[in-house]
Amino acid sequence: MTDPATAARLVNELVDLMHLEALGEDRFRARSEDIGTPAVFGGQVLGQALVAASHTVGAERPVHSMHAYFLLPGEHAPIEYAVDRVRDGRSFTTRHVVARQRERIIFEMSASFQTVDEGVEHQLAMPEAAAPEGLASELDQRRALGDRLPERWRNAALAPHGIEYRRVERDDLLTPTPRPAHTALWLRAIAPLPDDPVVHRALLAYASDHGLLRAAMLPHGLSFMSGRVRPASLDHAMWFHRDFRMDDWLLYVIDSPSAGGARGLCRGSLFTRDGRLVASAAQEGMLRVLPEGSPLAGAGGAAPI
């Protein structure tokens, strides 16, 4: 378990990662973190782009949806975000964000914001799941692999992080048993966050990219850590339904309704511990499986998800 001082430092580093330097004319610059993957983590770009769009909208209009495309792999280097104020209506505001590195567009996103209004209410019921307190963290699961953990993962994959993930199912991280394309995990920031709702939504966008594509691998007994799968996020959508805090446990329930054509589609629902559905996510990703013995196997890979 991470000690309180270290936990606070790691969470502050994540909050700082979402801090953007204003360049003028609705343009911003942000730094990148290196979590040990060949390209910058897609969740980082999702969160930063959402912050950039939010900086051009008043606090009285929170984001309710975002739709993004990952166009090129990002480098572990600063990223510039340019926001286009597409529309400011009576109830809805639309923003378009483009992310660039070295004059190349690597990512684009549209986000919609809305005034707080009253209306009909219903939601999907939260499924039963084991409580997070009785589950091992993914970090502890990776540490338990010992010498079985591939060498390329032994630095970043064993370092503590500001967001903790605990899988409800106890799969083998390297050679999971094939099973239906359904999974669930708990997630939260490991120390208190500022009260700013933009920070909580940006960090949930960040975390929503973790574990989502894994559901498409489950029926095939494959793992991203094996080195045989070359994944890449292609697009990502989120809908924010209700208020929440990222420093409280959230249950991420994920399924994959289809895979084919070297792509997998995955969907996720995020619930608070008391059963409120606070957000939904969907992502399609490239999933290329390399043959056994391929010289490219083990050469790359995604985040340890």
Question: What amino acid positions are annotated as catalytic residues?
Answer: 209, 233, 283
HSE at residue 52, side-chain half, CA atoms within 13 A, is: 34
Packing angle of the helix pair 42-54, 197-208 (nearest 10 deg): 150
Residue by residue, DSSP assigns 26-48 as TEEEE-----SSSS--HHHHHHH
For the stretch 196-211, pLDDT in tens is 999 999 999 999 999 8
Residue 251 sits at φ, ψ, to 5 deg, of -95, 125
pTM of the model: 0.93
The residue among 79, 62, 47, 76 whose CA lies nearest residue 207 is 47
Q: Domains in the chain and their CATH numbers?
A: 4-116+133-289 (2.40.160.210)
HSE at residue 255, side-chain half, CA atoms within 13 A, is: 6
Asked if residue 71 has pLDDT above 70, the reply is yes
Q: Rounded distance, CA 305 to CA 139, Å?
A: 11
For the stretch 218-264, pLDDT in tens is 999 998 887 788 889 999 999 999 999 999 999 999 999 999 999 99
H/E stretch holding 49 reads: helix 42-54
